[in-house]
Chain A
Amino acid sequence: EDQVTQSPEALRLQEGESSSLNCSYTVSGLRGLFWYRQDPGKGPEFLFTLYSAGEEKEKERLKATLTKKESFLHITAPKPEDSATYLCAVQVSRNTDKLIFGTGTRLQVFP
């Protein structure tokens, strides 16, 4: 069964304290891995797509990486405005339209 697991469930950081969020997956064939950010009361907002092991993408203080079993979202010197829930989703080869989502990591960054 295809499965996506995110850890930790929640993370509290001091402003400037770098850390990483994990997304591990077991799927029959990975076509793409997506990272989204979700603010309270809003829909998920697209951040990155990764397609193959070794690939990296960066945007401001965020960097996403991918291996054959997991993806990391690295947050460097976070600011309070980075506080949000970060969602990971995988697109599997046998059905390219569907995404399987993890349950997310709720990040709080304190000044």
Chain B
Amino acid sequence: NAGVTQTPKFQVLKTGQSMTLQCAQDMNHNSMYWYRQDPGMGLRLIYYSASEGTTDKGEVPNGYNVSRLNKREFSLRLESAAPSQTSVYFCASSEVNQPQHFGDGTRLSIL
């Protein structure tokens, strides 16, 4: 039972490069989320998708785009990476009013 799978696990980028973080869940959940976790800041919501075909901004959406490809997959794209986007990124999924289940994160460094 894989749960929430994130790829890649680690990535180093140069400023200005673009990349897409992938997330897939096998629990048939309708809702999916992208967070970033920084020291002393806690988990902050970047974007979420309440169902296939819908996406909404969270607390810190600037510099990011998302795509809900289908019910299983929710990707996060950095179009032009900046050092301030160095962070650990977590994807999560849930049903309405149920706990969110998290992947093990992507550790992203931008030089």
Contact = CB atoms under 8 A, between A and B. Distances in A.
Nearest to B6: A43
B61 interface: no
A42 B100 contact: no
B2 interface: no
B74 interface: no
Interface string B58-86: 10000000000000000000000000000
A91 to B, nearest CB: 8
A20 interface: no
A98 B104 contact: no
Given A101-B42, A101-B43, A104-B42, A96 B104 contact: no
Given A44-B102, A46-B101, A104-B42, A98 B58 contact: yes
Interface string A30-60: 0110101000011111100100000000000
A24 interface: no
Nearest to B105: A43
A97 interface: yes
B97 interface: yes
Main secondary structure of the interface of A (DSSP, over half): strand
A21 to B, nearest CB: 15
A43 B41 contact: no
A99 interface: yes
Interface in B87-106: 90, 92, 96-97, 99-105
B53 interface: no
Given A46-B99, A97-B96, A103 B40 contact: yes
Interface of A: 4, 31-32, 34, 36, 41-46, 49, 87, 89, 91, 96-99, 101-104
| 7 tightest A-B CB contacts, nearest first | A43-B102, A101-B43, A103-B42, A46-B99, A101-B42, A43-B104, A44-B102
Interface of B: 4, 31, 33, 40-45, 48, 50, 58, 90, 92, 96-97, 99-105
